[in-house]
């Protein structure tokens, strides 16, 4: 049974910025990126603890990797909801997603 997915404002803004950047670089890529994010979150909603934990973070803080685009979806898995904290490009420092304004 899938649980609800809730986006923080920060994560929603990052998704939009990443999609626009990719679309500008190569038309059609932005919408394909958003589709890949949505597909990954559909799996996460079914199996919230199936993705890797983030070292140094609480047990429920995890990342879903979107390898084709080099992005992570960082989220908190709760009993009744997935909270998307950030959409983070993997070339950035792994621990710096918290300092970049993610809750």
Which pLDDT does position 71 carry in this prediction? 93
SS3 4: strand
- Residues 6 or more apart whose CB falls under 8 angstroms from that of 79 comprise 3
Query: pLDDT exceeding 70 applies to what percent of the chain?
Result: 87
Residue 95's CB: how many other CB atoms inside 10 A?
A: 11
Task: Give the separation between CA 103 and CA 98, rounded to whole angstroms.
Answer: 7
Q: Can you list the domains of the chain with their CATH numbers?
A: 4-97 (3.30.2310.20)
- Residue pair 84/73 in contact (Cβ under 8 Å)? The answer is yes
SS3 101: coil
Which pLDDT does position 94 carry in this prediction? 54
Task: Give the separation between CA 6 and CA 84, rounded to whole angstroms.
Answer: 6
The list of the chain residues with pLDDT below 50 reads none
């Amino acid at each position: 049974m899938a649980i609800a997915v809730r986006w923080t404002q920060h994560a929603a803004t990052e998704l939009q910025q990443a999609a626009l950047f990719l679309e500008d670089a190569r038309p059609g890529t932005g919408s394909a990126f958003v589709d890949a994010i949505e597909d990954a979150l559909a799996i996460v909603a079914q199996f919230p603890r199936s993705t890797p934990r983030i070292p140094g973070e609480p047990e429920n803080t995890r990342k879903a990797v979107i390898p084709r685009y080099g992005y992570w979806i960082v989220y908190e898995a709760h009993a009744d909801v997935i909270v998307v904290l950030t959409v983070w490009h993997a070339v950035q420092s792994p621990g710096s997603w918290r300092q970049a304004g993610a809750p």
